C-alpha cells in the first residue's frame, strides 16, 4: 500500500516536470518576442540575454510615430468584424436545415460541404485573384469579407453539430405553437447556441487577425494593408535603409500583435471548451 502511494507520488513529480518543460518550450518564442522589442538593434544582433541590458522604448516610438500603425490596426479590425459578422449569420442559417429539417438532397449537400472543407484555399487563390480583379476588388478587403457572408463550410459544420445536440422537442413544441422555422431559429436555437456563436466568433477573429496568405495575394498598396503584411514591409526596415532588417521593431510590433488574440483567448476560453466539447464528432 505504502509502496503504491510512493510510486503514485513519483509519477506526479514526473508528469508535472514534463508539463513544465512543455510549457517553457511553448512559451519561449513569446518571451523572445517581448524581450526583443525592448532591445536596441545593436543589442539584438549581439546578445541573447532575455532581460535587455539597456531596455529602450525606441522601437515602440518608431512603430507608433513613424509608421501607419493605427491605419493598419483599423484595417485589421475592419477585416475581423466584417468576416466575423458575415460568417456568424450565414453559417448558422445554413446549418439550421441541415440539423433540423428533412428535404431532398440534404445528405448530398452536407457531403458537398464536408468535401469543400477539404479544398485548401490556396489552390483556388489564383483564379479567385483574377475573378476579384475583374470585379475591381483588388487592393481592398472585399475579396475576404464578401465570401464570409456566403457561409464558411467549417463553421457550418460546427453549428450543425451544436444544433443537433439541442433536444429536438424544444423546436417541435415551438412549431406546435405555430412558430415558423425562422421563429424556431431566432427564438429557440440561436439563443441556446450562444457558446457556439462565441466559439466561432473567437476562432474567426483570431484567424483573420493572424491571416497572412490572402492579404499577401490581394493587397498591394499601403491603404488597406493589414498588420500581418505591415510586419513584412513597413516595420521591417530602418527608414531609408533596406539592407538592415530592423528586428527589434518587428519584435515590438509583434508584441502589440500578440496581445489581442491572447486577451480573446483568455476571456473566451470557457466558451471555447464548451462550444467545441458539444460539437463532438459522433453521429
Partner 1 sequence: MKEKGRKNRHLANNLTAYGFMLPWFIGFICFTAFPVIFMFFVSLTNRRLNGISQFIGFTNYKNIFASSTFRNSFKVTIFFTIVMMIVTAVWALLMAFLLNYKQRLNGIFQFFYFIPSVIPSVALAYAFRTMFGKDAGLFNALLSSISGSNVRINWLYNERTVYPVIFFITLFTYNTGQMMLIFRSGLNDVPVDLYEAADIDGAGFWTKFGRITLPMISPVILFNTVTGSISALNGSFALLYPLTGDTGDPNKMTQVLSLLIYNEAFSNYKVGYGCALSVILFLLACVFGIALFGISKKYVYYEN
- Determine, following the binding rule CB under 8 A, whether residue 124 of this chain makes contact with partner 1: yes
Gap between the Cα atoms of 14 and 18, Å rounded: 6
Residues 187-226 that bind partner 1 (CB under 8 A): 206-207, 209-213, 216-217
Buried b / exposed e along 176-212 (16+ C-beta atoms within 10 A): eeebeeeebbeebbbebbebbbbbbbbbbbbbbbebe
CB of 131 to partner 1, least distance (A): 6
DSSP state of 162: H
Judged by CB under 8 A, does residue 17 bind partner 1?
no
The correct pick among 5, 13, 26, 176 for binding partner 1 (CB under 8 A) is 26
Interacting positions 71-110 with partner 1 (CB under 8 A):
90, 93-94, 96-98, 101-104, 106, 109
Alpha-carbon dihedral sign for residues 23, 29, 32, 36: negative
Q: Which stretch binds partner 1 (CB under 8 A): 52-60, 64-72, 163-171, 264-272?
A: 264-272
Q: Is 28 in the site for partner 1 (CB under 8 A)?
A: yes
- The CB density around residue 114, as the number of other CB atoms within 10 Å, is 13
183 lies in the site for partner 1, by CB under 8 A: no
With binding defined as CB under 8 A, does residue 181 bind partner 1?
yes
Distance in Å, CB of 106 to partner 1, minimum: 8
Amino acid at each position: 500500500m505504502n509502496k503504491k502511494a510512493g510510486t503514485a507520488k513519483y509519477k506526479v513529480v514526473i508528469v508535472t516536470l514534463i508539463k513544465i518543460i512543455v510549457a517553457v518550450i511553448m512559451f519561449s518564442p513569446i518571451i523572445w518576442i517581448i524581450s526583443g522589442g525592448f532591445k536596441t538593434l545593436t543589442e539584438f544582433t549581439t546578445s541573447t540575454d532575455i532581460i535587455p541590458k539597456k531596455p529602450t522604448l525606441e522601437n515602440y516610438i518608431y512603430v507608433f510615430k513613424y509608421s501607419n500603425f493605427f491605419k493598419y490596426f483599423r484595417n485589421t479590425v475592419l477585416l475581423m468584424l466584417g468576416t466575423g459578422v458575415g460568417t456568424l449569420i450565414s453559417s448558422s442559417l445554413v446549418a439550421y436545415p441541415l440539423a433540423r429539417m428533412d428535404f431532398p438532397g440534404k445528405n448530398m449537400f452536407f457531403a458537398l460541404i464536408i468535401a469543400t472543407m477539404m479544398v485548401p484555399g490556396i489552390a483556388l487563390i489564383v483564379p479567385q485573384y483574377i475573378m476579384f480583379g475583374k470585379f475591381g476588388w483588388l487592393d481592398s478587403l472585399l475579396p475576404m469579407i464578401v465570401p464570409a457572408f456566403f457561409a464558411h463550410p467549417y463553421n457550418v459544420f460546427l453549428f450543425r453539430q451544436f444544433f443537433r445536440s439541442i433536444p429536438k422537442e424544444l423546436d417541435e413544441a415551438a412549431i406546435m405553437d405555430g412558430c415558423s422555422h425562422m421563429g424556431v431559429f431566432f427564438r429557440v436555437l440561436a439563443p441556446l447556441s450562444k457558446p457556439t456563436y462565441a466559439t466561432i466568433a473567437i476562432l474567426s477573429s483570431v484567424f483573420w487577425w493572424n491571416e497572412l496568405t490572402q492579404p499577401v495575394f490581394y493587397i498591394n498598396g499601403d491603404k488597406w494593408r493589414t498588420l500581418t503584411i505591415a510586419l513584412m514591409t513597413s516595420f521591417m526596415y530602418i527608414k531609408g535603409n533596406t539592407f538592415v532588417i530592423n528586428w527589434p521593431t518587428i519584435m515590438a510590433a509583434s508584441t502589440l500583435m500578440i496581445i489581442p488574440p491572447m486577451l480573446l483567448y483568455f476571456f473566451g476560453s470557457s466558451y471555447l471548451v464548451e462550444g467545441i466539447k458539444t460539437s463532438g464528432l459522433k453521429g
